[in-house]
Amino acid sequence: MEYIELVCIPTQGVHTSDLLTALLADIGFESFSENEDGTLSAFIQAPALLPDLADRLKANPFSKYLLSFTVKKIADQNWNALWESQYEAVVIDGRCSVRAPFHPKPAGMEYDIIIMPKMSFGTAHHETTKLMIQYLLEMEILGKTLLDMGSGTAVLAILARMHGALSVTAIDNDEWAFNNALENVQLNHVPEIKVLLGDSTLLTGRKFDVIMANINRNILLNDIPEYLKCLNPAGRLYMSGFYYEDLPLIEARAKEYGLRLVSRRLENNWTAACFLL
């Protein structure tokens, strides 16, 4: 599968790269890398590249955050070298490590998760993944059913199963992420996790005690009704992938379907929130 790299030079300002990342995610870009020279790289599958991308990037709201950009093709075989050169192990709250197979195993970890660093989102480097992992670590999940929606590497699904969840399902609509999740499930010896390729249409007839959706604002706003249909009584919905400024929109949408905000977490303006049915 061929990917396109969009190399952006952001404008100056606090959170400019983060805001640009959110805008690019909204139009289909899947993964991002902040480079040492201050540029931002965004990646998308070649068939999904928008034909009017150049025009859209030169207009609002992109023009507020983007000085210039270049587009280039990247062959599949380059991904491992790219990610391995930038990838570092992560330790969260002194309890959970997320590392690649080529990193040494850290001592004293309650949970040690191995993630093959390919294209998929979810290596715990991004604030939203970290925030969701922190929620999971505090969760009483023994014997419960959990959905990892927009699962990327399936890091949340893997941790949930390690943490005691009875049944775990991971869903992502990206084929690369799906294949990477299958690989990571095997690497971490949790093959009972159900890894599915698709979107919220796969939720029909399924039921969960906990739903964790780390995607982006627009998909969350659209899919909240679908999450509600498969959430068990007294179930909890955890959502992330959006900025603090977007929380009122998410909360208002959740309230329409009987969900109430019970907690939130914030890091570098990225937000995760828990809603109770």
Taking the C-alpha atoms of residue 162 and residue 188, their distance in angstroms, rounded to an integer, is 9
With 90 as the cut, is the pLDDT of residue 19 above it?
no
Give the model confidence (pLDDT) of 63-122 as tens digits: 999 999 999 887 665 555 555 555 678 999 999 999 988 888 899 999 999 988 665 556
| Residue-range domain boundaries for the chain | 3-74, 123-276
Kindly tell me the burial class for residue 33, based on how many C-beta atoms sit within 10 Å of its own C-beta (0-12, 13-18, 19 or more): middle
Give the model confidence (pLDDT) of 25-64 as tens digits: 888 887 788 887 889 999 888 887 888 999 999 998 999 9
pTM, whole model, 2 decimals?
A: 0.75
pLDDT of residue 116: 82
Handedness of CA 254, 27, 266, 210 (dihedral sign): positive
Q: 201-230: string of b/e by CB count within 10 Å (b at 16+)? A: ebbeeeebbbbbbbbbbbbbbebbebbbeb
Give the model confidence (pLDDT) of 240-263 as tens digits: 998 899 999 999 999 999 999 999
Q: Pick the range with the lowest mean pLDDT from 133-137, 190-194, 265-269.
A: 265-269
Backbone angles phi and psi of 265, in degrees to 5: -130, 150
pLDDT of residue 129: 92
**Secondary structure (3-state) at 11:** coil
Assigned CATH topology for domain 123-276: Rossmann fold (3.40.50)
Assigned CATH topology for domain 3-74: Alpha-Beta Plaits (3.30.70)
